[in-house]
Amino acid sequence: MRLKYILLLAAASALLAMPAAFAQTAKLETIIAPPTQAASQVAVAAKAETASTADHSKFKALQTNFKSGPQVTEACLTCHTEAAKQVQHTKHWTWESVDAKTGQKRGKKNIINNYCTSPISNEKDCMACHAGYGWKDSSFDFAVEKNVDCLICHDTTGTYRKLPGDAGHPVYERVEFPKGSGKFVEPADLKKVAQNIGLPSRSNCGSCHFFGAGGNGAKHGDLDSSLQHPGKYLDVHMDEKGLNFTCVTCHVTEKHEVSGSRYNVAAAVKGPAHLRGKTDASPAACQSCHSDKPHSGRMDILNTHTAKIACQTCHIPEYARNEIGTEASWDWSQATVMGADGKPTTRKDSAGRRAFDSKKGTWVWDSYVIPEYRWFNGDSTYKVIGDKIDPGKTVQINEIGGAPNAADSRIWPMKIHRGKQPYDKVNNYLTVQHTGGEDDTALWHNYDWQKAIGAGMKAAGLPYSGEYAFVSTEMTWPVTHMVAPEHDALSCAQCHSENGRLQNIAGVYMPARDRNRLLDLAGWTLVLLSLAGVLIHGGLRIYTSKKKEQLK
């Protein structure tokens, strides 16, 4: 008899264990499938720079006391004969990006954003971030190879710096920067820099991309100087003590063309992980290494989300996850407002970030920012110089493509930067203004909007009516960096709840957020009625049986 019970127990436990096979419960710890060897190979390749077969300090062409950037480039080109031509085809050189679908010419050269607005007429300042030398106005010759700046991307010494005002040339003489700050920037030893070149590090890319809009973290929010030496918390891939990815580990570069761009985002990548080297439209996408079904074991149910939700939505729970923060808004209408003494003034916020400057207006900063969420298919249509606007509405600097539940769209986290900036009241387009410079028309010199807009529009080749006002604008930026470790990813209920992160996202039925009110009402009424029914029936039984006992 006892044996039978043991057998029965064994059978029962076997029965209960069987679903494990169905649910594919592998080890519970294996929550995210580690990327296939593709990723690790790339990581190795990026670190292998020290194992280079060429020691540039031994190169004859580099034994010169270089006097200028172009001189260094000429030396580089004696061996790397095609490098400048390659760079000249890229956005880093042209500041232009053509939309393959619409033919629209975007890029810094053509759009007006709601940060610094436009580099046109301000080239001397803005081109500090041009991968070239000498773009000071529209006369710049894009065909001159020696004007390509190799060092800004390939310097490994950290001494090579380009400052606003020099049209892309590095510092050649000791200079106070910012002016009046008492801080000085030393010129780099160009010979030493040239002899110590390497693959771009996070700091190389970051020298421009961390400081967009003229301030650390100001523009992107998911890119700032904290990524030079990030911990795991800030970015699970760039973690300096861990995977230590550089930018180009993901932004795989071929012929100097850096993959991955916000102008054409690979927003909805499908399919398995794959080895690099395969023809690949989107090597910078998460799926390139992780596939579109990255979760395994107990978490494989999360793969049901990948057809609707970008990886970034859960895995970047907040951006600007540090004290550096990022700009939430920039109000140009407050520029030219002077201090109490009638002189230009500045103000900082409690965290020491720029809050007001008579030159530029007011800013609002934010840290640990919860993104806004939008359906997105990777397309963006920009307001380019001369595009009409409706000043009665908030102007969208870029209209993002995508529709609720569309096959090519995913729910993406976005930084939406809000601004107020000048527009031509008669012609109804955003204006280009001449801000930087020491001349009479520069806004930051003379604090005169009329002159600044007049000069800017002239340089842009666009009529200006002479009447300007300020219009509200929004610019939408997909958030894709600062990927958090898995335990910091969003938990289910952060979206699966009535007031969760995705409360305003249309097109998807989300359990715990959505329900049919009528069904709930009918269902619970029925449940209450049956409860009441059994209680009344039971009560009556007790009552009648007691009565009978009394009768006895």
Q: By three-state DSSP, how is residue 133 classified?
A: coil
Of residues 58 and 517, the one with the C-beta less far from another protein: 517
Of the residues 40, 52, 63, 516, which one makes contact with another protein according to CB under 8 A: 516
Show the site string, 299-338: x = touches another protein by CB under 8 A, - = not: --x-xx-xx-------------------------------
Q: Which of 300, 206, 278 is nearest to 248 (CA)?
A: 206
Tokens of 525: 């009424």
Site for another protein in 16-55 (CB under 8 A): 16, 18-19, 22-23
* Angle at the Cα of 259 from the Cα atoms of 253 and 261, rounded to 5 degrees: 150
Q: Provide the mask over 246-285, with x wherever binding to another protein is found by CB under 8 A and - wherever it is not.
A: ----------------------------------------
408 lines the binding site for another protein (CB under 8 A): no
| Cβ nearer to another protein, comparing 23 with 426 | 23
Counting contacts by CB under 8 A, is residue 100 touching another protein?
Answer: no
- Quote the CA–CA distance of 13 and 430 in Å, as a whole number: 72
Q: How far is the CB of 295 from another protein (least distance, A)?
A: 11
CB of 528 to another protein, least distance (A): 10
Q: Which of 267, 308, 317, 319 is nearest to 505 (CA)?
A: 308
How many residues interact with another protein (rule CB under 8 A)? Answer: 46
**Which among 11-19, 41-49, 384-392, 422-430 is the span making contact with another protein, rule CB under 8 A?**
11-19
**Distance separating alpha carbons of residues 287 and 310, to the nearest angstrom:** 10
**DSSP annotation string for 368-398:** SBPPEEEEE-SBEEE-BTT-B--TTS-EESE
User: Which residue of 6, 511, 517, 550 would you call a contact of another protein, by CB under 8 A?
Assistant: 511
Q: In angstroms, what is the minimal distance from the CB of 518 to another protein?
A: 10
Nearer to another protein, 7 or 351 (CB): 7
Residue 219 beta carbon to another protein: minimum distance, rounded to whole angstroms:
35
- Separation between Cα atoms, residue 515 and residue 251, nearest integer Å: 42
Among residues 2, 65, 509, 550, the one that binds another protein under rule CB under 8 A: 509
Cβ-based nearer residue to another protein, 1 or 54: 1
Contact assessment for residue 193 and residue 160, using Cβ atoms and an 8 Å cutoff: yes
Cα separation of 197 and 150, whole Å? 9
Write the single-letter amino acid at 172: Y
Smaller CB separation from another protein, 65 or 550: 550
Which residue number, 241 or 548, has a Cβ lying nearer to another protein?
Answer: 548
Please report how close the Cβ of residue 537 comes to another protein at its closest, in angstroms.
Answer: 7
- Minimum separation from the CB atom of position 25 to another protein (A): 8
Answer for the pair 82, 72: CB distance below 8 angstroms, yes or no: no
Binding-residue pattern over the window 471 to 500 for another protein, x denoting contact by CB under 8 A = --------------------xxx--xxx--
Q: Does 7 bind another protein (CB under 8 A)?
A: no
Residue 541 one-letter amino acid: R
CA distances (Å), origin 209, targets 84, 111, 130: 21, 18, 11
For 415-463, the three-class secondary structure string (H helix, E strand, C coil) is: EEEEEEEEEECCCCEECCCCCCCCCCCCHHHHCCHHHHHHHHHHHHCCC
CB atoms within 10 A of CB 329: 19
Q: Which residues pair with 470 in a beta bridge?
A: 422
* Nearest residue (CB) to another protein, 338 versus 531: 531
Query: What is the enclosing helix (H) or strand (E) of 253?
Result: strand 253-254
Out of 100, 370, 426, 527, point to the residue binding another protein (CB under 8 A).
Answer: 527
Give the single-character DSSP code of 217.
T
Footprint on this chain of another protein (rule: CB under 8 A): 8, 12, 15-16, 18-19, 22-23, 298, 301, 303-304, 306-307, 491-493, 496-498, 508-509, 511-516, 519-520, 522-524, 526-527, 530-531, 533-534, 537-538, 540-541, 544-545, 548
